[in-house]
Structure 1
């Protein structure tokens, strides 16, 4: 018994296993201490960086795109607040959001998309951002907010709205879904209309609340508004009249341009067919083309007044000259040039009033091509108008080393060159303004710019008087007459060129000014490819001119200057009604 007790030994507290464990613990604590000291004292930057990555955020201040307004301050393009619906697929999967099947079905229903499409967009758990739908209304956004779907969020954005719709679609243009201009003024002045968002550095907690504002990173730049020269009252009248006429005559397209003679401002510019800029789903680039500035046509007889100015300036004729158009036709270079009948000896005024091709050819053949081309350039044909409109065409004024007689002849009555409705309107504004050409503008001007005298005033005044005869009795533009106002203008009808010659389609034009006593407005109406028996400019374009010009003169409170005898009689009748005192 005693031997067993002696044989049993007490355990040693300092066995090698215990020492080994203690050594590991000491080393671990020493390592942790060294690491903490290194991070806290020697190299704290990385720790700060890691913390900043989790808490520092850049907050972007909201910005609003500038408005587009007409000359009277009426809004043509504004930005309205909307919401974008986006998802964080990683959060969706991490918080098992997909188990809420009814909520996802409700989300799909309110967005108008299949539920399977939504689920496919968030199926990749490695993605952190995906748009579910852009620019939803505030009501839809509130409904989505109440669904409380983990991983589905809202963010504020803007949607461009155009109150006047298709009336100003070609002029104002439109933006894409990201708010960048893609057509019209929205594109031409995109930088001016676009604001630059400001940035602030903030610190957020894990719930996304801002707990510290660390200051401004970059200052915001406010957007600028644009005030156009367009008068929305006239614009609406012009669009309704042009659209109704183009549909009645089944024209492929139609354009109208109205210019303030005294300032060079474009008061109206419309096209048909148009489009609704508020519906991007139906956007087609060919419908968005501003044809009044981009499409060039052979002007036909509307060019004749400019050729008469050239003849007057170069001494070929004077305002009282008589031109012999007998026998009513001639052959040049194997081609026949003729009038509808033999008009015989007629005045220069009658040449324009009856739109005599023979009279124009007689004058043009006595001028050099350089003289004719120089006059056209001074009227603004063949050059850019400088308005800055998207896709504006300079037209085409021919430049040849050698000119045949038939080429000069056809040029004299508006063939062999192309002009845009905008250029033609500017040319007639020059005639109406006594030979002074103002640079055109689609922006409202505070005061008229300095004009350039491009043709002598006496010649411009002479041709203006002749244009009044064209609208009067015996002229080709009786449909352009406006009761109470003296109006001048010229009709034009040109055949559309095709490969190898001219086809069976026509362009009907009318260009005119009013009131003649003190011209204020110049207008051009173009009907492209009207169908049916009526296609002459005096039939399809002149009535539109009369309707729109009449309304514009009244809206601008321009005093009537015609029918003085009638006004006198009416004044006398009113005087008889007032008892003498």
Structure 2
């Protein structure tokens, strides 16, 4: 019975399996999948159609963003040379080390606090140390800071600038430093090429050349005055680079490179070096505050030397102080004192108020003018015009000035260049001061005749003496070497200029005020000037010592003016302070320029012809 029941159950199960039906297709699922695939395909085809037909430049632009770059072709700043081609300012290759903070942070993922937490100060040496247990390249960052001469805290602050992609770490570094930084192989640290301004003559020419900033733009002196000429213009072009930064194609020139111009000065560096060394020595020996000197070619108006002290070395920016950079020869004004007496004599001769043979009585060595006293050092008695200059007589020159109308004397001073710019076209030049007033007292006119009440610069005074030396012709003053002969303009009669120059020879002879100005083998004409410095309410106890002169007398070539400001001690007279500088510099200038010693007969022949 049991077997029959099992057999019947088995047959029933078989029958049930045969009658069971399985679903093999779903129309709505099929439709959804089909529509999705069709929609994706349609979107892809639409996008392709858009990119190919409506906006075909999109992919090109995207590719250009990743590969097109603009590169610069640097135009190095032009050189500055002296009249014989010796380099005074040159541009040399240099580099800037910079950092991409975002790249650094991505590579090392540290915070500023974490960085500073690993900086320690050695209590013995006071130097910063970096914790060697910091991240695996910890030794490299202190090495970078040390070679770039920056402390670790500053380096951390630069790197932690938010959202920054560029910051300078150090500029104007040389190639060995760049090679060292490359070997450190620090992520985000790069370099770029730039230019460094170098001054081979250092402090000797610093006051006239000026200097440039880190971007090679002139900020002082000749560098600033002629910046656009010296700087040139960088070139720009569009290039295509590969992912490694290599240029694979030059696309387009965006800006054409314009080469910088070279500048040739009228300066003779040999004479300039002598002038600077002698001036520096005089300022230090006499414990003066400053000084300046100008050497001017009387026949061309070219400046062969212009030196100032104090100065500084422009190659060492740590020495930079504004007062050291000032070109005092053109910026600082002073009352010229007795150096204007030859000009007063010229004015009296021009307006017919005297003649070359007149003798003037200066007894008893003093006189009252407008209720005030004018005096000489001692009673000189009856003296001629040459003796007035030789002994620097205030009485004699005042008597000549009082014969002139104030406007006549002022006009003469103006003709000699006082109260006007010299035409040198350097930034910062002062024009000095000629007083303009409707009424003049006799005392004011008398004191103006020996250099009080007016102001001038060292260069202006040198130009005035150059006019005398050239026979009364004013030539354009220039710091640049001229390729063509200078064309001058006559301002006083030639015979008067020659006569006054001849009178000035006695100043350096025995009994004159400046025998220390003599130059062996040459006859020199000059004049001392020792004036008190003005201060609030009158004149103080400080002096300005000036010597101005020409040589050689037979055929003047150079005019030199030396100004020493506030010499200390008992030796403050120009004959002791400024005259020796004139002698040394004039001797060097004449010898280096191959100027022959004077021929007495030639000089007298020139005088007789007028």
Task: Give the alignment's TM-score, normalised by structure 1.
Answer: 0.95
What does residue 39 of structure 2 align with? 27
Q: CA deviation at 1:186?
A: 0.6
Correspondence for 1:364 among 390, 396, 401: 401
The answer to whether the Cα contact below 8 Å between 2:99 and 2:188 also exists between their aligned partners in 1 is yes
The C-alpha deviation readout for 1:41-79, integer Å capped at 9, x for no partner, is 211223322221111111111221100000010000001
Correspondence for 2:387 among 350, 355, 378: 350
Correspondence for 2:480 among 431, 443, 461: 443
List gaps (5 residues or longer) in structure 2.
Answer: 1-12, 111-134, 602-610
Q: CA deviation at 1:427?
A: 0.3
What does residue 70 of structure 2 align with? 58
Correspondence for 2:97 among 81, 85, 94: 85
The structure-2 alpha-carbon separation of the partners of 1:54 and 1:466, relative to structure 1 and needing over 3 Å to count, comes to same
Matched, 1:174 2:186: no
CA distance in 2, matches of 1:50, 1:295: 62
Matched, 1:528 2:540: no
* Larger CA Rg, structure 1 vs 2: 2
CA distance in 2, matches of 1:16, 1:352: 125
Show the 5 A alignment for 1:80-479: 80-96=92-108, 99=135, 100-124=137-161, 126-479=163-516
Q: CA deviation at 1:97?
A: 7.9
What does residue 38 of structure 1 align with? 50
Higher deviation after alignment, 72-81 or 43-52:
43-52
Matched, 1:500 2:537: yes
The answer to whether the Cα contact below 8 Å between 1:93 and 1:125 also exists between their aligned partners in 2 is no
Aligned length: 564
CA distance in 2, matches of 1:102, 1:361: 80
Correspondence for 1:68 among 80, 90, 103: 80
3-state SS in 2 of match to 1:496: strand
The answer to whether the Cα contact below 8 Å between 1:484 and 1:563 also exists between their aligned partners in 2 is no
Q: CA deviation at 1:363?
A: 0.8
3-state SS in 1 of match to 2:196: strand
The answer to whether the Cα contact below 8 Å between 1:484 and 1:562 also exists between their aligned partners in 2 is no
* RMSD of aligned residue pairs (Cα, Å): 1.5
3-state SS in 1 of match to 2:349: helix
CA distance in 2, matches of 1:6, 1:408: 145
Q: CA deviation at 1:515?
A: 0.3
The C-alpha deviation readout for 1:13-41, integer Å capped at 9, x for no partner, is 23423432332232122112211210122
Higher deviation after alignment, 228-237 or 323-332:
323-332
CA distance in 1, matches of 2:79, 2:525: 37
3-state SS in 2 of match to 1:470: helix
The C-alpha deviation readout for 1:473-532, integer Å capped at 9, x for no partner, is 221111101111101100000000000100000000000000000100000000000010
List gaps (5 residues or longer) in structure 1.
Answer: 565-581
Q: CA deviation at 1:461?
A: 0.8
3-state SS in 2 of match to 1:185: helix
The structure-2 alpha-carbon separation of the partners of 1:119 and 1:4, relative to structure 1 and needing over 3 Å to count, comes to farther
The answer to whether the Cα contact below 8 Å between 2:554 and 2:600 also exists between their aligned partners in 1 is no
Higher deviation after alignment, 387-396 or 3-12:
3-12
3-state SS in 2 of match to 1:424: helix
3-state SS in 2 of match to 1:40: helix
CA distance in 1, matches of 2:155, 2:571: 56
3-state SS in 2 of match to 1:460: helix
The answer to whether the Cα contact below 8 Å between 1:437 and 1:451 also exists between their aligned partners in 2 is yes
